[in-house]
Amino acid sequence: MKDYCLKFKHLHICVTVRGAPYSRYTVERRRLLGKTKTCGCYAALIVALIVVLRIGVGWHFLYEGLWKANPANDFSSKGFLGMAKGPTKDFYYFFLPDLGGEERIQMAEVYRVALENGQNTAQQRIGWTFPVIEKEWFKYFDDYRAHFQLNDDEQLAQAKAIFDQYVLSLREYVLENREDIRGFVASKARFEDRLAKTKNDAEYQRIRNWDAQTKYRSEGEKFASAPVKMGENMQLDLWNILTPNQKKFGELPAITYGQDKCALMQFVATLPWISDFAKGSTMGALDAMVTVGLTAIGLCLILGLCTRLAALGGACFLINVVLSQFPWPTVYPYSPDMVGHFMIFNKDGIELLILLLIAALPAGRWGGLDWFLWNLVGKNLYRWYGIESDPLSPPCHSAENCA
């Protein structure tokens, strides 16, 4: 029997739990000078509201996770973290590989080299390219030939023609946009140099700096997105020329570039269910952790399974959400009026407090699977280590009621 109490100066409110979670609950209002009154309906209402609160928060997390797992929604954390603001923004930018596309749009000249006895006897400049992108394309094509066993000369020639056409298109794209890219890179370098040397915290200047930073990132991603899209189309065209037997070998991981490469995630992205939404890249690893984590937290809260652990996991996630979108009125960009007005505690902060409350209470044992987990495993572990009572539950009002 447990007795959970809130003690005030002239009033003690206690919830007494007898036996299983479906047994009778009572609330006692104990005045220091007066009679004790027992009201079972009050305790039942309190427990029911806590269970409903747990399920409601769990449903919010579960739906978010399932929505992100839907391939049609094309979820990515990059947009959200790329808009991080406030004093913690640089910490979240660190997790975004090649933010703004600067690495992918580095240009280099392409030469045709003549070799004689292993010596470079002549070279001819034939254009410009993005070396980070073209290098990964050539690597993909080598893996493509080996993985799908292109032994037929006609099929190999067809694949080579498709690949060469995309490489030529990439070089033409770089040549056409070379001057614009040079101007963009130089302008961005001047902006970042001025930003590092000049310290101006005036609101007007902070707004200008943020708008300029957003503009440069958008332009960089625009220059980089076209070649990346070419690479996706190239993979699709090469897949379409395969025979049914060759397709049984399974698809190769999607091409990733530069800092976004992640060998471990390329394997994880092939696992069942995860392969439906995860990408084999560094950014894909972050997206997969968010999606799987939200889904697991929501499911555990709804079922009341490992509730405290799930609530703490959800609280950690929301701490990062709150810090990345710093809830302070003077931090630019300002929150739109349609989402309401707040200071320090926004809607995410309030849900964070709710999760901490759920973690502080044995909410999973009230209408949840934690009751079975506690009675079958938890109590035996406590006895094994010589612990007489649950240290994670609120203290009893008296030793007599702890029996």
Q: Which is nearest to 100 in space by CA: 256, 255, 219? A: 219
337: confidence class by pLDDT, cuts 50, 70, 90: confident
Per residue in 101-117, pLDDT tens? Answer: 889 999 998 887 665 56
Mean pLDDT to the nearest integer, 137-153: 90
389: confidence class by pLDDT, cuts 50, 70, 90: low
169: confidence class by pLDDT, cuts 50, 70, 90: very high
Answer whether residue 171 shows pLDDT above 90. yes
Whether 99 contacts 90, CB under 8 Å: no
Q: 104 or 196, which is more confident?
A: 104
pLDDT score, position 107: 92
pLDDT score, position 233: 95
- pTM (two decimals): 0.75
pLDDT score, position 52: 94
Q: Which phi and psi angles does 36 have, rounded to 5°? A: -95, 130
| Average pLDDT of every residue of the chain | 82
Mean pLDDT to the nearest integer, 31-49: 64
Torsion, CA 383, CA 388, CA 394, CA 398, rounded to 10:
150
28: confidence class by pLDDT, cuts 50, 70, 90: very low
DSSP classification of residue 401: G
Answer whether residue 399 shows pLDDT above 80. no
37: confidence class by pLDDT, cuts 50, 70, 90: very low
Per residue in 204-257, pLDDT tens? Answer: 888 888 899 999 999 999 999 999 999 999 999 999 999 999 998 888 888 888
Whether 31 contacts 10, CB under 8 Å: yes
For every residue of 309-367, DSSP letters joined together read HHHHHHHHHHHHHHHHB---TTSSSPPPGGG---SS--HHHHHHHHHHHHHHTTGGGSS
CA distance 276 to 73: 12
